Amino acid sequence: MDRRLIIEHIPRLRRYARALVGDRYVADDLVQDTLERAWNKFYLWRPGSDLRAWLFTIMHNVFVNQARRRRYEIEQAMEEVPAVSVRATQSEQLELQDVDRVLRSLSPEQREVVLLVAVEQLTYEEVSGALDIPIGTVMSRLSRARERMRQLLGGQTVMPLKVVK
């Protein structure tokens, strides 16, 4: 396998990082740190295994390490609302802002699971492997996050959060 395989996953890594930290500059740094680590440790990737999940695992570990070192910077970044790059009607724009606000109110652990399942469409097993937590923990965090989001959105479901097995 060739290291060029990593390149095709950069857009997904950027999207996840941006949703995770909320600031595009911090997200770009996270992606760069992830890619650097993946590039230097590429020999550890097992051909035939899911490269995407491996990259998300690296990103998760980099993020956790950075959060431990710079907790106050992460909290400041979470306060900012990223610009939405899709053309949307005014009501859709407001709905997206509501979902973004609600996502940011979740704990980092719940937000990670929601983003990986709902946005990146990883299976529970892939999320479990990427975050190095049991599948039951993935399911419980997702369930609690969904309930919290429903409460904060006034009982309405704006974002389709499907069950992925």
For the chain, 165 residues long, give each residue's pLDDT as a single digit of tens.
466 788 889 999 999 898 888 888 989 999 999 999 998 988 888 888 888 889 999 998 888 887 766 555 444 555 554 544 555 566 666 677 777 788 888 888 888 888 888 877 888 888 888 888 899 999 999 999 888 888 888 765 544 555 555
* 156: three-class secondary structure by DSSP: coil
pLDDT for 65: 81
AA letter at 16: Y
Q: Are 142 and 114 in contact (CB under 8 A)?
A: yes
Q: How many CB atoms lie within 10 A of CB 154?
A: 8
Domains of the chain by start residue, with CATH: 1-83 (1.10.1740.10), 86-165 (1.10.10.10)
Judge if pTM exceeds 0.85.
no
What does the block give as tokens for 27? Answer: 């997200």
Q: Which of 98, 109, 108, 112 is nearest to 149 (CA)?
A: 98
* pLDDT of res. 91: 64
CA dihedral 35, 45, 117, 11 (to 10 degrees): 30
Instruction: Output the pLDDT for position 161.
Output: 52
pLDDT for position 2: 66
The whole-angstrom separation of Cα 90 and Cα 39 is 42
